Amino acid sequence: MTEESRTYRRALRVTIIVIVALAVIAVPVGLLVAGGAGLLAAEIGVAVAALAGLTTQIAMLVAHQKPPHLMAAYIGGSWLAKMLIIIVALLVLQGVEGFEKEIFAGFAVAGVLATLAVDFSVIRKARIPYVDGGS
């Protein structure tokens, strides 16, 4: 296994842990702030954050050993798919009566920032060479 593979797997593992922790935190916060509607909004916010964070990491894990044009297609395609899903979800959720938008937004933003922090931290600590050694 290459250092790149280990790095992408580490990022995926840590992100899953962070998302699960955020989902656990979202339960009491959502319930305390707005009852069942708050719980639902908080968990949907965490799901959106998970979609945003994990999609790119999975695409990188799958595509990092592919030729550059295929890797770009994987990453670009995953980004486009996740943006379309998020836009459709936001359009559907804006019409739902009693949906706690503030709680949803808070957990979605917190989750996205947490996944970005994980990405930055793991990549910063990685020991991936810039060039391949050769003869």
User: 3 or 44, which is more confident?
Assistant: 44
State the pLDDT at residue 128: 76
* 44 HSE (CA, 13 A, CB side): 21
Q: Is the pLDDT of residue 106 over 80?
A: yes
φ, ψ at 126 (rounded to 5°): -70, 150
pLDDT at 22 exceeding the cut of 90: yes
Percent share of the chain, pLDDT over 70: 97
18: left (phi over 0), alpha (psi -120 to 50) or beta: alpha
* pLDDT bracket for residue 135 (50, 70, 90): low
Note the pTM of the prediction, 2 decimals: 0.85
**4 neighbors 11 (Cβ within 8 angstroms):** no
1 vs 25, 62, 130, CA distance in Å? Answer: 35, 13, 17
Average pLDDT over residues 96-110: 92
Q: What pLDDT digit, counting tens, does each position of 50-73 carry?
A: 998 899 889 999 998 899 999 999
What is the chain's mean pLDDT, rounded? 90
Q: What is the DSSP letter of 103?
A: H
CA distance 94 to 63: 35
Residue 31 identity (one-letter amino acid):
L
132/135 Cα distance (integer angstroms): 10
The rounded distance, in Å, linking the Cα atoms of 47 and 49 is: 5
Residues 6+ apart with CB under 8 A from 4: 64, 65, 126, 128
CA 64 distance to own-chain centroid:
18
pLDDT value, residue 114: 95
